[in-house]
Chain A
């Protein structure tokens, strides 16, 4: 069974304090790994898709990386507006319906 585990469950940082969020996964064969940001009471907002080990993608203060077992979302010099829940999801190669399996998320709080 495909599984996604995110850590930590919650993270509180000071503005400007860089850190990383972890997403560990087990999947029969990886079709893609996805990062989303979700604000309270809203739907997830797409951030990145990673397809193969060694791949990296960047957007503003965020950088996502991928290995064969895990992905990291690095946040550099965060601002209060980066506060949100960050969700990681995987899609398996054998999922003809392109189903996503989500982790529990990391609740990130950036204090000014």
Chain B
């Protein structure tokens, strides 16, 4: 139980293009999903908290116009990296918390973004 998927697992794009990453909770409903990024050999840094049906809450220093988050249903959140640049290359990971029950976050497998 508590399986989270991400798509795509890996994406390579040209500088200036936009990339959309999907995060789905497969076997549970998640009113809250979270988006993290992780640089090599570093820990996870929270980018934003996504609540179903409302605007995302961004962490300090994260550009909300660059990292667009949509949480349109109880099982799907999307992260769009707009006008991507090489410095946006990173490992993006989402997590989801059960709508009812413990606070445990269950993580997806991650998406490796490379911007050329």
Contacts and interface: CB of A to CB of B under 8 A. Distances in A.
Nearest to A44: B107
Interface size class of B (residues with CB under 8 A): 20 to 34
Contacts of B105: 34, 46, 98, 100
Contact of B46 (A36, A42, A44, A100): A100
B104 A97 contact: no
Nearest to A4: B43
B32 A34 contact: no
B109 to A, nearest CB: 5
Given A87-B44, A104-B42, A104-B43, A97 B107 contact: no
A105 to B, nearest CB: 6
Contacts of B93: 43-44
Interface of A: 31-32, 34, 36, 41-46, 49, 87, 91, 97-100, 102-105
